[in-house]
Amino acid sequence: MKRSKVLALSCVFMGLAHLTVLRQRVKGILFALVEIAFIALIPGVIAPKIVQLVTLGSPQPDLPVKLRDNSMFMLIDGITVLAVCLLLAALYYISIKSALLISREIEANGWQKSKGLDLSGTAFPVVALAPTVLLILFFVVVPLVFSACVAFTNYSTPGNIPPANTVDWVGLDNFVHLFGGDATWTGALGRVALWTVTWAFLSTITCYFGGMIMAAILSGSKTKIAPVFRTIFILPYAVPSVVSMLVWKNMLNGAFGVVNRTLMSIGLVSTPIAWLSDPWLAKFTTVMINLWCGFPYFMLLTLGTMTAISSDIFEAARIDGAGSLQIFRRITLPLVIYQTAPLIVMSFTANINNFGAIFFLTGGNPVVADSTVTSAKGTDILVTWIYNLTINLQKYQYASALAVMIFIVLAPFAVFNFRRTKSYKEGEL
């Protein structure tokens, strides 16, 4: 059997080779029905949706609002149709590959030993994973693509909010506007991005080394009450962070907070300290409160890692005259960092998107010079700024552009972390 003939028939129509020369009628009928259904939907569904995706509708001021073109519906429908087309292309490829595989089996084993539609073999993983792939495609990938596409439109208030008005494609105008096109927005972006990276670095380093130091102290302590302190230190991590941040927000209130009232009552300060209303002090406070909430996780992680270190190493170091500090610097610290380095990277990326720590403690405050225009406040990080842009200003196009930027920055970290996992190194991925 000529493979060129099988390839040609498979490319002409899905399942044609199975129906004609390969004698796999069940599989061929299934493949053919999929393409027939797709072709039948082209005139009434697929083609109009793709056209609407390109145009995003046209203004219709004479019609009632409910009857006007909704650009956002057109955008999501068009992306969904493109996902269906992508599925068809993948299925087309699978049908061609299946036809070529069956032709090779027939050449090698004859007609009687060809497997055909055998779900117990290589076809089973494809069939079993198909529902999961479909769910991920339509409930994860499509919404993500939709959110990214908004960055290339003018979807914002007041003139481009559907259904009252339509939305238009603007290309890279939003990115140009944020990255140098407008001094106010560019300045806000630079300030927030710099603080986001600084916040992620400081919050990661303080929590990591704070937890490591406490773990080293507790593991080396000879007192019987060490487990009691270990339990106490775990409490900030056990309590939901939202509750902790709201409690600290009230305690640090400049006018009636418990912290200021206590400091003033014992004479340490004469005037209230602006813990959350001074731009620089508010940033320092957020890092310290995040340390209080986050160090127990790394303390537990380090304690678990330290138990895997052989006690003979510590004993040999003590025999050689090493003190506690030298043992920590030369043995504990290198071994723990080696074991937990991927988690440091993961924690850094998580802190870049640590919405709750900023939003529930400071709400992004205090207000700075450009906050009225950009809604970017003194302690806002990128993710809280995105929230403000969508909820307060309804500048969805800028929020989407920022989300795309965050994805571009964080994706390499995620790939790096994934490639370092044991499952990736030892698997067949």
Answer whether 179's CB lies under 8 Å from 404's CB: no
- Start-end of CATH 1.10.3720.10 domains in the chain: 177-426
Residue that the structure tokens 């340490």 belong to: 268
Preceding amide of 366 cis, omega within 30: yes
Residue 53 and residue 279: Cα distance in Å, rounded? Answer: 44
For the segment 12-29, the average pLDDT, to the nearest whole number, is 87
pLDDT category at 145 given cuts 50, 70, 90 is: very high
333 dihedral zone (left: phi>0; alpha: psi -120 to 50; beta): alpha
Distance of CA 237 to the CA centre of its chain: 22
Determine the 3-state secondary structure of 177 from DSSP: helix
**Distance separating alpha carbons of residues 158 and 147, to the nearest angstrom:** 20
**What percent of the chain is predicted at pLDDT more than 70?**
94
Secondary-structure percent of the chain, ordered helix, strand, coil, rounded to 5: 75, 0, 25
User: 305-360: per-residue pLDDT in tens?
Assistant: 888 888 888 888 888 888 888 888 888 888 888 888 888 888 998 999 999 999 99
Q: Is residue 246 within 8 Å of residue 360, measured between CB atoms?
A: yes
d(CA 281, CA 186) in angstroms, rounded, equals 24
The pLDDT assigned to 154 comes to 94
CB distance 150 to 400 below 8 Å: yes
User: In this predicted structure, what is the pLDDT of residue 429?
Assistant: 45
> Where is pLDDT greater, at 115 or 364?
364
Grouping H, G, I as helix, E, B as strand and the rest as coil, residue 90 is: helix
Give yes or no for a contact between 10 and 31, defined as CB atoms under 8 angstroms apart.
no
Alpha-helical runs (H) found in 239-394: 241-251, 258-265, 279-307, 311-319, 324-327, 333-352, 355-359, 371-374, 382-388
Contact call for residues 279 and 362 (beta carbons, < 8 A): no
Tokens 């140009």 locate to 176
Write down the architecture of domain 177-426 according to CATH: Orthogonal Bundle (1.10)
User: Exposed, middle or buried, 372 (CB in 10 Å: 0-12/13-18/19+)?
Assistant: exposed
Q: 3-class SS at 149?
A: helix
Of 279, 420, 410, nearest to 351 by C-alpha is 410
The residue length of the chain stands at 429
Give the Cα-Cα-Cα angle 138, 144, 396 (nearest 5 degrees): 130
H helices of 137-182, where? 142-150, 173-176
| Local confidence band at 156 (pLDDT 50, 70, 90 cut-offs) | very high
Residue 397: pLDDT over 90:
yes
Task: Tell me if residue 24 falls in helix, strand or coil.
Answer: coil
- Mean pLDDT over the full length of the chain: 88
363 pLDDT tier (thresholds 50, 70, 90): very high
Residue 92 structure tokens: 């087309």
Distance CA 22, CA 2 (A): 11
Q: Letter for the amino acid at 65?
A: V
**Whole-model pTM over 0.85:** yes
* pLDDT given at position 286: 95
Instruction: Using CB atoms within 10 Å of the CB of residue 94, give its burial: 0 to 12 exposed, 13 to 18 middle, 19+ buried.
Output: middle
Find the mean pLDDT for residues 189-204. 95
